[in-house]
Amino acid sequence: MLMLRRSLDLIKGIVDVGIIVVAHVDNPARIEALNFLKKVLLWEIKAIVPTSTFLGGYYILTKYLRVPRLMAKRSLTRTLEVKTPAFYEDVKVETVIDALEYSATYNIESWDGYLISLANNFNADIIYSIDKDFEKVPGITLVNPISKEKMKEYYEWIFTLARKN
């Protein structure tokens, strides 16, 4: 894929770690998550993916979903090797301070506060996530790119996996 230039005024949304996780483990919602992620990476959907989401994705995949470490690393690395303007590689101190403010104000995870801070930095109002916590933040539109039917199947899959462990 050719490296495309990212125009900051085009960015409409931020991609959360949950989408990365769903796209990188075999589960009922994977195809929908992969299709969405492909559109983001091809810059058909103007959203950024903080590269730090892959660190969180690795943690969730290996600790909670019991994906073997090497398999998780390989899968995530293949995606990270794509040349795309969608990857956002910078975490500034000011952004982290804003993230902590959002986290404290809205009683959400600090990671979610970071995504809100990024959205504000880029004048983007959409966060693509499977996490409903974003619904309580004014000015942010939560978009789950995975259908309700597939999300229901995904949560059933998670429940079954949890019972096995």
**What is the structure's pLDDT at 161?**
87
The answer on pLDDT for 7 being more than 90 is no
Tell me whether residue 60 is in a domain.
Answer: yes
Global confidence as pTM: 0.92
Give 35-84 pLDDT, tens digit per residue.
999 999 999 999 999 999 999 999 999 999 999 999 999 999 999 999 99
**38, part of any domain:** yes
Query: Could you tell me if residue 66 is inside a domain?
Result: yes
User: Is 43 inside a domain boundary?
Assistant: yes
Provide the pLDDT for residue 147.
Answer: 98
What domain range is 61 assigned to?
8-88+124-144
Domain membership of residue 17 (yes or no) is yes
CA 44 to chain centre: 16
pLDDT at 125: 95
Identify whether 103 is part of a domain. no
Quick one: tokens of 13? 């949304």
pLDDT for 163 = 86
E strand intervals along the chain:
13-15, 47-50, 87-88, 126-128, 141-143
Whether residue 6 is predicted with pLDDT greater than 70 in this model: the reply is: no
Does pLDDT of 9 surpass 80? Answer: no
Number of domains in the chain: 1
Per-residue pLDDT tens for 93-135? 999 999 999 999 999 999 999 999 999 999 999 999 999 999 9
In a domain, 36, yes or no: yes
Rounded to whole angstroms, the Cα distance separating 79 from 86 reads 12
Q: How many other β-carbons are positioned within 10 Å of the β-carbon of residue 14?
A: 28
- Whether residue 30 is contained in a domain is answered as yes
